[in-house]
């Protein structure tokens, strides 16, 4: 028999029999509870060591009705560096309170997300912070009713009263459109991620609203100065973005500027644009920042992901202490950072 297999089957009852104590006494000794003599405690610990007994921490907590010191974070697509920065912000705020962060990715699957949320709840997580892929968040009401705070990040709670921390995506879209219009661009393309994502919808809404105002001011669609917007949704990742950019730039009247809906899309647009002569490259304005954007000169509209994580963590910690307070939605600002790619003029893109 494999020794590891033998150790895996050792139970608390086995330890109690070896130490010649009751099951309850063995449990108290292993959990350092009072009312156990030092002699008995030592005998139980020696028996556990001899048998190779390993406690299941989650089961112990569950049986005692205690919570762990862990907060669970469920991200979307873990390949997106946005979530790494978000996690750093959360972890820093939790560390101050002696809490630990456990991170898992749903890969934008609602089924996987709910499986992870249920697992965190079963493991007695103190709170769950989630960038949710669910369209309706009412299932989380069951977890909240069990005393587990749930904080939604980047994507607001839908169908349920719960704390949310999001960016001002609509305002960010308006700022992006305003920036490009001021540089003479009237044929603009927007490449968005999945069309169900609140971030994609909000950013597109802001751009559309601002361009509509510009067209109305120019006298309607019949005026040559009116702006036009080409939209491509469902662009998930750099490869999709590169292919979509190639298709747009092959049009008879290609866009003079492209707005990329997130940082992964920005990478694909930038890679495809670099295949063109500098004079034919469109202006590029991305959403969300990334580590190398300053080095390669990519202009972005971005919020502070680390700060978002800090705010979400502090909201979760506050909710642990006061579950009666009414849930809130915190909207954090976005700002436009000029680095060159978004400042190319329509008349002279080089």
Mean pLDDT along residues 40-60 = 74
DSSP 74-113: EES-TTSHHHHHHHHHHHHHHHTTT-EEEEEE-TT-HHHH
Mean pLDDT along residues 34-51 = 83
Residue ranges per structural domain of the chain: 3-55, 70-168+305-334, 169-302+336-343
- Nearest CA to 188 out of 257, 247, 240, 246 is that of 257
State which CATH number among 3.40.50.2300, 3.60.15.10, 3.30.360.10, 3.40.960.10 fits the domain covering 169-302+336-343. Answer: 3.40.50.2300
State which CATH number among 3.40.50.2300, 2.60.120.200, 3.40.50.720, 2.60.40.10 fits the domain covering 70-168+305-334. Answer: 3.40.50.2300
- Nearest CA to 127 out of 73, 196, 181 is that of 73
Lowest-confidence range among 190-199, 258-267, 288-297, 335-344? 288-297
Report phi then psi at 285, rounded to 5: -130, 120
Task: Write the pLDDT tens digit of every residue in 297-320.
Answer: 999 999 999 999 999 999 999 998
Inform me whether the pLDDT recorded for 8 exceeds 90: no
Inform me whether the pLDDT recorded for 58 exceeds 80: no
Q: Which residue has the tokens 């978004």?
A: 342
Task: Write the pLDDT tens digit of every residue in 89-144.
Answer: 999 999 988 899 999 999 999 999 999 999 999 888 999 999 999 999 999 999 99
Contact 218, 226 (CB under 8 A): yes
Q: For the domain 3-55, what is the CATH superfamily, name and number?
A: lambda repressor-like DNA-binding domains (1.10.260.40)
What are 156's two structure tokens? Answer: 């607001």
Rounded CA gap, 97 and 92, in Å?
Answer: 9
Rounded CA gap, 27 and 175, in Å?
Answer: 61
Domains 3-55 and 70-168+305-334 share a fold: no
What dihedral angle (degrees, nearest 10) is formed by the CA atoms of 232, 237, 243, 249?
Answer: 50
Compute the chain's Rg from CA coordinates. Answer: 27
Report phi then psi at 43, rounded to 5: -65, -40
pTM: 0.79
Lowest-confidence range among 24-28, 44-48, 162-166, 216-220? 216-220
Inform me whether the pLDDT recorded for 63 exceeds 60: no
Task: Write the pLDDT tens digit of every residue in 276-298.
Answer: 988 889 999 999 998 889 999 99
């Amino acid at each position: 028999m494999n020794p590891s297999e033998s150790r895996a089957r050792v139970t608390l009852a086995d330890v109690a029999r070896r130490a010649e104590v009751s099951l309850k006494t063995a449990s108290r000794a292993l959990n350092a509870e009072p009312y156990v003599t030092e002699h008995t405690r030592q005998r139980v610990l020696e028996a556990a060591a001899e048998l190779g007994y390993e406690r299941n921490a989650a089961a112990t907590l569950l049986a005692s009705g205690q919570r762990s010191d862990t907060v669970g974070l469920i991200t979307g697509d873990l390949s997106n560096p946005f979530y790494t920065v978000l996690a750093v912000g959360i972890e820093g705020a939790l560390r101050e309170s002696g809490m630990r962060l456990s991170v898992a990715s749903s890969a934008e699957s609602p089924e996987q997300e709910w499986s992870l949320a249920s697992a965190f709840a079963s493991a007695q997580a103190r709170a769950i912070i989630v960038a949710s892929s669910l369209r309706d968040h009412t299932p989380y009401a069951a977890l909240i009713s069990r005393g587990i705070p749930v904080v939604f990040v980047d994507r607001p709670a839908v169908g349920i009263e719960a704390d949310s921390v999001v960016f001002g995506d609509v305002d960010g879209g308006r700022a992006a459109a305003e920036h490009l219009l001021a540089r003479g661009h009237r044929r603009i393309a927007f490449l968005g991620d999945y069309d169900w994502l609140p971030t994609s919808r909000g950013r597109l809404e802001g751009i559309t609203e601002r361009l509509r105002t510009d067209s109305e001011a120019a006298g309607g669609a019949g005026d040559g100065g009116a702006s036009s917007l080409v939209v491509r949704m469902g662009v998930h990742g750099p490869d999709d973005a590169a292919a979509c950019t190639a298709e747009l730039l092959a049009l008879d009247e290609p866009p003079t500027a492209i707005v990329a809906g997130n940082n992964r899309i920005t990478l694909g647009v930038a890679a495809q644009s670099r295949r063109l002569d500098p004079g034919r490259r469109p202006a590029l304005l991305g959403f969300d920042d990334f580590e190398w954007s300053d080095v390669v000169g990519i202009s972005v509209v971005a919020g502070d992901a680390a700060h978002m994580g800090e705010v979400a963590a502090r909201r979760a910690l506050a909710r642990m202490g006061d579950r009666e307070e009414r849930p809130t939605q915190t909207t954090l600002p976005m700002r436009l950072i000029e680095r060159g790619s978004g400042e190319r003029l329509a008349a002279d893109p080089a």
